Amino acid sequence: MDPRDRNAVVTGAAGGIGAAVAEELLARGARVALADLPGERLDATRERLAATYGERVIAVPGDASSRADLEALLAAGREAHGPVDLFVANAGVPGTPELGGSDEEWQRALDVNVLAHVRAAQLVVPAWLERGEGYFVSTASAAGLLTQIGSATYSVSKHAAVAFAEWLAVTYGTRGVKVSCLCPMGVDTDMLNLGRSSDDVVERTMAQAVTDAGDVLSPAQVAEVLLDAVAQERFLVLPHPQVHRMVQGKAADHDRWIAGMQRYAASLGVS
Reduced to 3 states (helix: H, G, I; strand: E, B; else coil), residue 208 is helix
Query: CB within 8 A of 111, min separation 6: which ones?
Result: 65
Q: Among 53, 154, 172, 264, which one carries the catalytic annotation?
A: 154
Return the closest-CA partner of residue 204 out of 99, 91, 94. Answer: 94
Half-sphere exposure of 102 (CA within 13 A, CB side): 3
Reduced to 3 states (helix: H, G, I; strand: E, B; else coil), residue 46 is helix
Inter-CA distances, 101 with 22, 24, 114, 148, 270, Å: 34, 37, 19, 16, 16
Q: For the CB of residue 15, give the shortest distance to ligand NAD in the complex, in Å.
A: 4
- Cβ(8)–Cβ(23) below 8 Å: no
Q: For the CB of residue 186, give the shortest distance to ligand NAD in the complex, in Å.
A: 5
> What CA–CA distance (Å, rounded) separates 57 from 201?
40
- Cβ(102)–Cβ(26) below 8 Å: no
- Cβ(52)–Cβ(32) below 8 Å: no
Q: For the CB of residue 195, give the shortest distance to ligand NAD in the complex, in Å.
A: 9
Q: Applying CB under 6 A, which residues contact ligand NAD?
A: 11-12, 14-18, 36-37, 63-65, 90-93, 112, 139, 141, 184, 186-187, 189-192, 210
- Cβ(25)–Cβ(1) below 8 Å: no
Q: For the CB of residue 6, give the shortest distance to ligand NAD in the complex, in Å.
A: 21
User: Could you confirm whether 154 is annotated as catalytic?
Assistant: yes
User: Which residues form the catalytic set?
Assistant: 154
